Structure 1
Amino acid sequence: MDSGPHDPDDLLGALAAGQVPDEHAGHDHGPTADVSVRPATPEDAPLVTALQLRAWRARGLVTDELLAAIDTSSVTTQWHSAITDPPSSRHRVLTAVAGADVVGFLACAPATDVPLPDTAGDEPVEVLTLEVDTSRTREGHGSRLLAACADLAREVGGTALVTWAAQDDDARTRFLSTAGFAPAGPRRVLDAAGTEVVESCWFAQI
């Protein structure tokens, strides 16, 4: 995405232009809670941990046995540190909220050691993780998190957003494509509970 006129088919561009698409247009769902994206607070750390583990389980990234063995207090401590003591201004944790409820989160940092197209520029920012509560998907929270991340990245000189997605995660890759991301080329193989997961790199100019 560039800083010129936004492509109407580009979700991040539409969000930046204030044209938030209604994923449920034509359906009356009654009153909805106020939704927004804000910087994560220290109090969010345990909520982010619980949300992350639920999302991992729903996406099949961890088994019930492995989930039970995870030290949630340690994970919460790591999130607390990421929120309260980030290494730089480009390390951020954002939360999506609906009313008083934290329903999603995003963590980003400078992208390093990722061979990207020249169009990605010299200062790409990596979306390390983006998760939305399994009970609150298709409400626009993921799109709002990405748009807020793009805004913050631009403020510190970021030139592109970069992220990784499992090749067989059709829902995630469709979402990224709709949000203006394109495959960057690089791939990597991760070990997820003894199962090899092949991930592709995606990027979007900002």
Structure 2
Amino acid sequence: MSTAQVRSARTDDAAEIGRIQRDTWRAAYTDILGASVLDRLDAEDVERQWADAVAHPETGVYLAFEGEFPVGFCVAGPAPEPEVASADGDLPADAARTGLIGTILVEPRWGRRGHGGRLLVAAATGLREQGAERGITWVAQSDSASLAFFRSVGWNPDGTMRTLDTGERTVRELRLTGDLALHLTE
């Protein structure tokens, strides 16, 4: 039986993080984003962007492993004001203590093994260490698997939505929010 673990990513993990992103988006998000968006992903650009994210001092990037194989990742950090503001631009009282889960991706073939939960707990722990008390994330309204995952840990839509234009499709996203005091129950 393989050992599952999560660790903080290093800049030399950027190529693997980029591979996981590209492979997972192709397998799970082509219908949401559109094939042309995925066709335009340049491996070197994606790797460079992930190396920059890993090196950013306020950003936590976490990598999940099944045995020796990287199978998923999560990125988190302080929530920028536009991300945490209400639809009318007002900031909640806890805006400075709100963290953003930018993304959690686990390759579909490695799904349902607890990697997403381990990644979210690691990110939530990192955000709490930075002083965050609450978390937010954005999930495509049509992404039932991700919505179910976040709901399973007590994160729910807060009524705020946004629409993104991928150039091929528009994507409606729901903002979900929840407690960062998460623990694994394995």
TM interval, shorter chain, is 0.7 to 0.9
* Stretch of structure 1 that moved more, 37-46 or 137-146: 37-46
Out of 109, 119, 134, the residue aligned to residue 160 of structure 1 is: 134
Task: Answer yes or no: is 1:111 the counterpart of 2:82.
Answer: no
Task: Answer yes or no: is 1:39 the counterpart of 2:31.
Answer: no
Seen in structure 2, the aligned counterparts of structure 1 residues 122 and 69 have a Cα distance that, compared at 3 Å, is: closer
Task: Answer yes or no: is 1:99 the counterpart of 2:67.
Answer: yes
Contact 2:34 2:166 in 1 (8 A): no
Out of 150, 164, 185, the residue aligned to residue 176 of structure 1 is: 150
Q: Which amino acid aligns with 2:165?
A: D
Q: Distance in 2 between matches of 1:118 and 1:190?
A: 23
Alignment-derived partner of residue 49 in structure 1: 18
Where does the alignment leave 5 or more consecutive residues of structure 1 unmatched?
A: 1-31
Alignment-derived partner of residue 184 in structure 2: none
Q: Distance in 2 between matches of 1:176 and 1:193?
A: 27
Task: Answer yes or no: is 1:73 the counterpart of 2:48.
Answer: no
The percentage of counterpart residues that share the same residue type is 31
Tell me the CA shift for residue 196 of structure 1: 0.8
* TM-score calculated relative to the size of structure 1: 0.77
Contact 1:105 1:145 in 2 (8 A): yes
Contact 1:96 1:103 in 2 (8 A): yes
Q: Which amino acid aligns with 2:51?
A: H
Seen in structure 2, the aligned counterparts of structure 1 residues 198 and 64 have a Cα distance that, compared at 3 Å, is: closer
Q: Deviations over 1:6-50 (max 9, x none)?
A: xxxxxxxxxxxxxxxxxxxxxxxxxx2111110002221111101
SS in 2 for 1:143: helix
Superposed structure 1 runs of 4+ greater than 6 Å apart: none
When Rg is computed on C-alpha atoms for both structures, the one with the higher figure is 1
Q: Distance in 1 between matches of 2:163 and 2:37?
A: 20
Task: Answer yes or no: is 1:201 the counterpart of 2:168.
Answer: no
Alignment-derived partner of residue 151 in structure 1: 125
SS in 2 for 1:138: coil
Alignment-derived partner of residue 97 in structure 2: 123
Q: Distance in 1 between matches of 2:179 and 2:101?
A: 13
SS in 2 for 1:125: strand
Tell me the CA shift for residue 119 of structure 1: 8.4
Q: Deviations over 1:87-111 (max 9, x none)?
A: x3x3111000111110000011211
Where does the alignment leave 5 or more consecutive residues of structure 2 unmatched?
A: 181-186
Q: Which amino acid aligns with 1:37?
A: V
* TM-score calculated relative to the size of structure 2: 0.85
SS in 1 for 2:108: coil
